[in-house]
Amino acid sequence: MAVREGFRSTSGGLRDCFPLRLYAKAKRLGTWDPAAIDFTRDREDWAALGELERETILSLTSLFAAGEEAVTLDLLPLVLAIARDGRVEEELYLTSFLFEEGKHTELFARFLSEVAGSPPELERYHVPSYRTIFYDELPAAMNRLLTDTSAEALARASVTYNVIVEGVLAETGYESYHESLAANGLMPGLCAALVEIKRDESRHIAYGIYLLSRLVASDAAIWDVIEARMNELFPYALGVVTETFERYEDGVTPFGLEQSAFVDFATSQFTKRYERISKSRGKTLAEIDALAEAETDA
């Protein structure tokens, strides 16, 4: 019995759609090489830092490093689910997605080894809310897709990965991390890499919002699943921020990072994505595609 009836590329060609255009942008903009980042000045800056300053950078970097490794390891079930659904244009984009997550993992591994001197036991910085998201919720939601590719399972996985992990935690962290280092004239190599990583992440988030939006456009009832999952996980996202800042007096780090700024930015990002996805109810796929294109600039 045949298990495949034909191929998109020979029976009409690839469909012009938002994921395929994201793929084109990834090929054009995502070619930076973590191995080419120059950490010479970063090593000099690290040597001149005090103990609390080093601890602060290690704390934040450990969250990024482990987070990028987690999303690299946990993405494959989504790629497989999309492939099994025959959505070749989306799978083409997801090949670049996984490649980029791998590069982010490589970049932070390099920084910790070549700049920070391979400090041990960085998991000590992983606060309880971080562990809930990255040790439990993310792998559970993604691995469910290996046996369940229903719209509900896809929605829960994408909310966890694209909205909470990337759209709230990563985007908030990278924005504040980069701004604080750049404002203090520190770590130019890492700052340059963070610019590239933020650009990559913006495409990842855009895909996730597109995926969730098309799920809602196909079945408005999926919005209830998305809303429930967002509200379930957002307190943990804020908990990562508040628990991480508990060790700093008055919630301010040596580099001027303020807890309130993190919380405000995270809440803003969460609200923006919540409102954007909610508008997908009653939309056609063509309208979802056009709206996604208009709202992404990376």
Number of domains in the chain: 1
CATH of the domain at 153: 1.10.620.20
CA distance 133 to 123: 14
The pLDDT of 48-55, averaged and rounded, is 94
Token pair listed for 139: 């792998």
Does residue 8 sit within a domain? no
Does residue 203 sit within a domain? yes
Asked whether residue 141 carries a pLDDT value surpassing 80, the answer given is yes
The pLDDT of 80-108, averaged and rounded, is 97
pLDDT for 177 equals 84
Q: Looking at this protein, which amino acid is placed at residue 120?
A: P
* Enclosing domain of residue 161: 36-295
Q: What is the DSSP string of 209-265?
A: HHHHHHHHHH-TTHHHHHHHHHHHHHHHHHHHHHHHHTTSGGGB-TT--BHHHHHHH
pLDDT for 180 equals 82
Does residue 29 sit within a domain? no
pLDDT for 296 equals 62
Residue among 253, 148, 158 nearest 214 (CA): 158
* Under 8 Å between Cβ of 166 and 204: yes
Asked whether residue 8 carries a pLDDT value surpassing 80, the answer given is no
Residue 195 confidence class, pLDDT cut points 50, 70, 90:
very high
Does residue 263 sit within a domain? yes
Does residue 7 sit within a domain? no
User: What is the average pLDDT score of the chain?
Assistant: 93
Does residue 252 sit within a domain? yes
pLDDT for 249 equals 80
Asked whether residue 2 carries a pLDDT value surpassing 60, the answer given is no
Does residue 25 sit within a domain? no
165 or 6: which leads in pLDDT: 165
* pLDDT tens per residue across span 11-38: 778 988 999 999 999 999 999 999 999 9
